[in-house]
Structure 1
Amino acid sequence: MINDFNYNTFVYKPFIMKYLFVIFVSLVVLACHSNKTASSNIQDKTIASTNCPEDGICTFKVLQNKVLTIKKDGFGELYPELSDGKKTVIKFEYKRNEIPNTADSSYSEIIYAEIESNINEIILKDETLSEAKVLFGRLCFCRGATGYYLVKEGSLKISTNNKGAKTYKLNFKVNEIPQIITMFQETL
C-alpha cells in the first residue's frame, strides 16, 4: 500500500489547481469591458435646475437618440413611453420634498418634449407645440387631478449660441389640472 502512494501527485495537485484558478480569474477580469460604439460620443446630459421652487429639487435632462410615444392606458389616460430612436427628448422634472410622517405626500411634475436631434433653432407656440409632443405630468395622490396632459398653450424656444450651447425655454399652461411649474429655461 505504501508503494502506491505518489508523492509528486500529492504535492503538485493543489499547486496546479491554485495556478489554474488564478489564470481563470485573470481571464475573466481582463475579458470584462464596456461595449464601445460609434455613438458613444453622444451622451445624455443632466443638470440640477436652478429654476426650482424652494420646497423641492428639479432636474433637466436631454436624452439623445430617443423618441417619445404618447400612449393611452385601459382607461383612456395618457402616459409617456421612451424608446430608442433618432430624435432627442427633453425632460424637466420637479420633485417636491416629502412631508415627514405623512403618507402619500410625494408630488412631482414632469414635462417631456421631443425634438429633431440636429435642430439648432426652433420656436413653437400654442397649436404647434404638438409638433414637439409637449406633455405635462402631475403625479401625486391628488384625487381627480393627476395624470399626463398634452400642452396646448404656451411656447417652446430652443436656440444655440456661438459656442454651441443650447438654451431650452418653455412657458406653458395646462388648463385641466393645477400646476406649480409653468416655465423653465436651461442652457447646456
Structure 2
Amino acid sequence: MKYAKIAIILILLITSCTAKKITEFENGIISFRNCPDGGMCNVEQIRDSQISLQEDTTGQMYPKIDKSNTYHLYKLTFTKEVKEDVMDAEYQEVIYFQIEKSKTFRKLNNKALDRAKVIYGRQCHCPGETGFEAILSGSLLFETFRQVTEIHLEIKPDTLPVEMNKALTKVTFHD
C-alpha cells in the first residue's frame, strides 16, 4: 500500500512536469530545427483563413489572405539578423500553407502541395530576387496529436533563392 502511494505520487509529478513544458514556450514553439544560422525562425497559425496568390498590375505575385470557414493558415518565417546601422538590410523568408480545420494529418508531395496552397516569399533589398511563388516541388507533413502540431516542410522554389528550404517544428497553438 505504501509503495502504491509513492508510485502514484511519482507518476503525478512526472506527468505534471511534462504537461508544463509544452505550455511554457514562447509562441507555443516546442522545437524548430533547420533554422538557418544568423537568424530567427517562427511559426504561427492564422485561424479561419485561407491564401491565394494574386498578380498585381506589374506582373508581380503577392499573397492574398481571406477569411475561411474551412481552413487555418500557417506561416513559417525566417528573419535574418542584420546590422542596425545598415540601411535596407532587412531580410525575411516566409512560407504559407493552409490545412482544412478538420484534418489532423496531411502528407503531400510535389504537385500535390497545391492542395495546401504552399507559397514561398522572399523579402529583401536584393533586386530581381524578391517576391512570391507557388511551390510545387517538395514535401509537407502536417500532424496534430494531443494539442501538439508537427510540421515537416521541404521546399524547392523554381525562381527565387532560398535559405530556409527545410523546416521541422513542433508547436502548440493556444486558442
Other-structure match for 2:106: 122
The one-character-per-residue Cα deviations of 1:54-109 (angstroms, maximum 9, x if unpaired) are 31111100111111122111112111121221211010011111223211110000
User: What stretches of structure 1 of length at least 5 have no aligned partner?
Assistant: 1-44
**Pick from 46, 50, 53: which aligns with 2:32?**
50
**2:32–2:168 CA contact under 8 A, matched in 1:** no
% identical equivalent positions: 25
CA distance in 1 between counterparts of 2:27 and 2:53 reads: 22
Secondary structure of the structure 2 residue equivalent to 1:91: strand
Other-structure match for 2:132: 148
**Pick from 63, 70, 80: which aligns with 2:46?**
63
TM-score between the two structures when normalised by the length of structure 1: 0.71
Other-structure match for 2:161: 178
Letter in 1 for 2:101: S
Task: Number of aligned residue pairs: give it.
Answer: 143
**1:157–1:168 CA contact under 8 A, matched in 2:** yes
Letter in 1 for 2:130: T
Letter in 2 for 1:67: Q
TM-score between the two structures when normalised by the length of structure 2: 0.75
Q: CA RMSD in A?
A: 1.7
CA distance in 1 between counterparts of 2:164 and 2:51 reads: 21
CA distance in 2 between counterparts of 1:160 and 1:110 reads: 22
**1:47–1:59 CA contact under 8 A, matched in 2:** no
